[in-house]
Structure 1
Amino acid sequence: MQSIVAHRYWGAPGGGQLVCASAAIALDKAGLKPILTGTFKFDPAKYVDWYGIDISRYEVRTLMPVNIKAFGLWTRLYMWRPAKEVLDRFSVKVLFIDDETYKPLVKYRSRGLKIIEYIHFPLEVVVDPRFRGSGLAYGEDPYIMERYGRFPMNVYWGVFTRLLPRYLRENPFRDADLVLTNSKWTAGVARMVYGEEPVVLNPPIPPNMSVLGSVRGFGERGNLVVMLGRFSEEKRYHWVVSELMPSLIKEVPGVKLIIFGGATTRTQLSYVNRVVDLARRSGLNVKVVSEGSVLSELDSEHQVYLRLNAPRAEINEVMDEARAFLHATINEHWGIAVAEAMARGLPVVVHKSGGAWSDLAMNGEVGLGYENTDEAIEALAKLMTDAKAWSNYSMKSLGRVRDITFDKFVERLAELVRKIL
C-alpha cells in the first residue's frame, strides 16, 4: 500500500518540513510507502543534514521542475495538484497534508482515501473577518503584518485571499479522517474556529539533536541569556534590547544577551539594524557577528551580541555555557527553538501564551513564564542567581523533551494511522 505526504515547500528547513519528513517515516513504519509531493523541486538528501532524517528513498512528485524561493504564500493554492496526479495514477490509502488547501482532493475519500490533516495554525483565524479582535487576524498579528502589511506585499496577500476559497476545505472534522495539531494551545484555537479539538501530536526533536544525558552545572556557566530564531518582528528582539536588558543589567550586573538568528533577506537584515539602533539608544553596547565569523570570547565592553546565521555546533556550545533561554514571541504556535534549548538542559523563560507555554513550559511546571517586562526580569534574574532553582528547571527541561523525541513521534503517528485504516 502507498501513501502521500503533501507539503507546499520542501526546499528549506523549518517546522513544517520537520513534521512532514517525520510523518513520511511514520507512514512507512505503518506499511504505507510514502510518495512526497510538493510545489517545487527539492533535494531530499538535505534532510539528513538538516534533521538526521533520510527521506531520499521515497519517490518525489512536484508541480514545478525547479526550486523557487519566491511565491511561498501562493504555493498553498497549488500544492494539491501533484497530490491529485498521484491519486489518479496510483492506489493510495492515506494522504498526510499539513495545509488547509486540499478541497479538490476531498472527493477521493469516496474511493477509500483516508485524509490526515496536521494543523500548524488554523488559517481561517487570519483571513476570516469573524475572528477580528482575536489578535491573530490580518491587521493584528505582527508576523503577518511585517511580511504582508505594506505595498506591494499587501497586493500579493490580497490576491491570495481572493483565490483561497477555491481550494480551502470547509471543515477538517468533516473533510478529513484524522485531525492533528502541534500543541494544546493551537488545539484551543482550532476549537474556536471549528467547534472541535484536534488530537495533539507535538513536533519531534529531530534525531540529529540528541537530548543530553548530563549537563554542565550552574557554577560552570556564566550570566548569559540566549535567544534563538530568525530576525523578524514577531520574535520581539526590539522589546528585549530596549526594555528588558537595560533593567536586567541593573538586577544582575554583568549579564549578557546573545541572540542567534537567521538573517538572509532584506527584511531580516533591516530588522537587525533596527535592533542594533534600539540597543544603542538604550545605552547598551552591541556587537554584530556576521556569517563566516566566529563568536569568540565575550568581552567586558559589550552587553548584547547578535550572531547571524551561526552553525548549530556554535549555538550548542554557547547554550552549554548559558544559564537561561529567553523566548519573547507572543502566541507562538509551538516553539521549536524552545524545545532545542531544553534538549541542551537550559531552563526556559517564555511568554505566558501559545504552545511554548502550554506544551513546553507546561504552564509553569517545567519552565518559567511572564506577561510583562517586570515578570520576565524576575524570572531571568532567578535563573542567573539561584543555583537550586536553576538545577530544578534544567532537570525539568530535559525530562520534558524526552517525551517528544523523533522515535516517539513516529511510533505515535504510526499508531494513529493504523486506527483509521
Structure 2
Amino acid sequence: MLKQKGVSFVPISFAKPRKTQSVHTLPFSLPKFDKYQRLLVKISASKVKPKVFLNLSGVPIPLSSIAPHLVYAGAPAISSLPSKYKGIWKLYLLPFYLYLPALKREASRIEIIANSNLSAEAISEVYGIPKPKVIYPPVDVEKFELAYKCKERDDMFITVGRIERGKMLENAVNLSARTGISGIIVGSLIEKDYLERLLKLARETGAKVKILYDLPQNELVKLMGKAKVYFHPTIGEHFGIPVVEAMAAGLTPLVPVKSGAYEIVPKELGYSTIDEASTKLKDLMKVDMKEKVHEISKGFSSSVFKEKMWEHLSKYL
C-alpha cells in the first residue's frame, strides 16, 4: 500500500531481521521472546522522527511525543480471552502488566484500529478506551480461489494453524474421533513436542487425522479443493485468516462462537462445544454452501484492506 501510494518508509524492529533492512537495536536476529520485543522496539523507534508511526505490533508503546502514532492491533495478550499463557506461563506476560499504565496513557491519546470486533472489545477492556474501529486483515483470496472450481470433494475437513499449543489443534483431533470423519491438519511446525502429543491423541482416540507440516502453499490450495468443510479449532482467535482462505476455496467454515471469525460467517456455522461441532460437521457434509461463502470471502481482498487502511493513515501525511 505504501509503495503504491509513493510513501517512503523504514521498518523498525528491536532485533535485526533476517531478510529485510530495518532500524534496529539488537545486532542479531532473535526468533524468541517476540512479546518482549514488541515493548523493546520503542528503543529503536526513538532513533527516528517520521511523519507518523504505523505500528503493526499491536502494542501502544509510547511514541506519540515523537510523531502521530497509528496502531493496528489484535487483542492484547493480557486480555480475558482464552490464552496459551496459563499457570506459571502467565509470568511470561509480567512485563506487560508492569508496563500497563504507560500503555494505557498512550492508548488514550492515539488512534488504534482493531483486526476484529472481538479484538476491539478486548482492547477497550485492557486499555480503558472506547471500542476502536475495525478493519479486517487482508487475505490472498485470489490464490485460494483456484480451488473453488473443484467439484468432486470428499467427506473430509481441513484445519490450518501453526502446530503450537495455543492453536488448540487437539479440538480437530477430537472432532474426527467423535464423528468418524477424516480430517487433515496443516501448519508450520513450531513445537515438536506438541506434534507428538497430537499424534498420540489421534492413536488413542482412533481419530482419522493426518498432520502435514511445513507444506508449500500451492499444496495447501490443492488440498482445499478436495475437502468440503474447514474446521477452525482456536477458541478466542482474534480473527483467523485461514477461515477466509478456506471460504475463497469453497469450503464451508465451522468456527468457534468465541472468535473473530464468527463475526464474518453465517451464524449457523458457529459452535460452542466439540459436541455441537460434531453434530454440525455431520450435517455440513450434506450441504453445499460453496457459492455463499465464496461470495463472503471477496470482501477480504488485499485491495479492500489497502483502501480502508489508507483512509486512516493518509490524514497524518
**Quick check: TM above 0.5?**
yes
Between structure 1 and structure 2, the one with the greater Rg is: 1
Contact 1:102 1:169 in 2 (8 A): no
Query: In the superposition, relative to structure 1, how do residues 362 and 197 fare at CA in structure 2: closer, same or farther (>3 Å)?
Result: farther
Aligned-residue RMSD, C-alpha? 2.5
Deviations 1:267-307 (A, max 9, x none): x21111112222222234xxxxxxxxxxxxxxxxxx22111
Deviations 1:103-132 (A, max 9, x none): 2x2212xxxx3211112113452xxxxxxx
Residue 198 (str. 1) matches residue 132 (str. 2): yes
- Return 5+ residue gaps in structure 1 as ranges: 1-24, 46-58, 126-133, 250-254, 285-302
Query: In the superposition, relative to structure 1, how do residues 196 and 259 fare at CA in structure 2: closer, same or farther (>3 Å)?
Result: same
Contact 1:261 1:310 in 2 (8 A): yes
Residue 394 (str. 1) matches residue 290 (str. 2): yes
Query: In the superposition, relative to structure 1, how do residues 155 and 195 fare at CA in structure 2: closer, same or farther (>3 Å)?
Result: closer
Residue 179 (str. 1) matches residue 133 (str. 2): no
Q: How does 1:138-149 map to 2 (within 5 A)?
A: 141-145=82-86, 149=87
Q: TM-score, normalised by structure 2?
A: 0.89
**Displacement of 1:204:** 0.1
Alignment match, 1:102: 61
Aligned-partner Cα distance in 2 for 1:378–1:85: 56
Aligned-partner Cα distance in 2 for 1:79–1:208: 34
Partner amino acid for 1:276? L
For 1:305, what is the secondary structure of its paired residue? Answer: strand
Q: TM-score, normalised by structure 1?
A: 0.68
Aligned-partner Cα distance in 2 for 1:397–1:245: 23
Q: How does 1:21-420 map to 2 (within 5 A)?
A: 25=1, 27-44=2-19, 60-87=22-49, 92-98=50-56, 99-103=58-62, 105-108=63-66, 113-125=67-79, 134=80, 136=81, 141-145=82-86, 149-150=87-88, 156-158=92-94, 160-161=95-96, 164-165=99-100, 168-172=103-107, 174-176=108-110, 178-193=111-126, 194-206=128-140, 209-212=143-146, 214-217=148-151, 220-242=152-174, 244-249=175-180, 255-264=181-190, 268-284=191-207, 303-358=208-263, 360-364=264-268, 368-384=269-285, 386=286, 389-390=287-288, 393-420=289-316
| Count of matched residue positions in the alignment of Structure 1 and Structure 2 | 315
- Return 5+ residue gaps in structure 2 as ranges: none
Aligned-partner Cα distance in 1 for 2:141–2:11: 20
Contact 2:169 2:233 in 1 (8 A): yes
Partner amino acid for 1:85? K
**Displacement of 1:227:** 0.6
For 1:38, what is the secondary structure of its paired residue? Answer: coil
Partner amino acid for 1:418? S
Alignment match, 1:252: none
For 2:51, what is the secondary structure of its paired residue? Answer: strand
Contact 1:227 1:259 in 2 (8 A): yes
Partner amino acid for 1:76? R
Query: In the superposition, relative to structure 1, how do residues 206 and 42 fare at CA in structure 2: closer, same or farther (>3 Å)?
Result: farther
Partner amino acid for 1:352? V
Aligned-partner Cα distance in 1 for 2:154–2:142: 27
Alignment match, 1:16: none
Aligned-partner Cα distance in 2 for 1:167–1:210: 42
Query: In the superposition, relative to structure 1, how do residues 258 and 123 fare at CA in structure 2: closer, same or farther (>3 Å)?
Result: closer
Query: In the superposition, relative to structure 1, how do residues 204 and 231 fare at CA in structure 2: closer, same or farther (>3 Å)?
Result: same
Aligned-partner Cα distance in 2 for 1:213–1:157: 40
Partner amino acid for 2:161? G
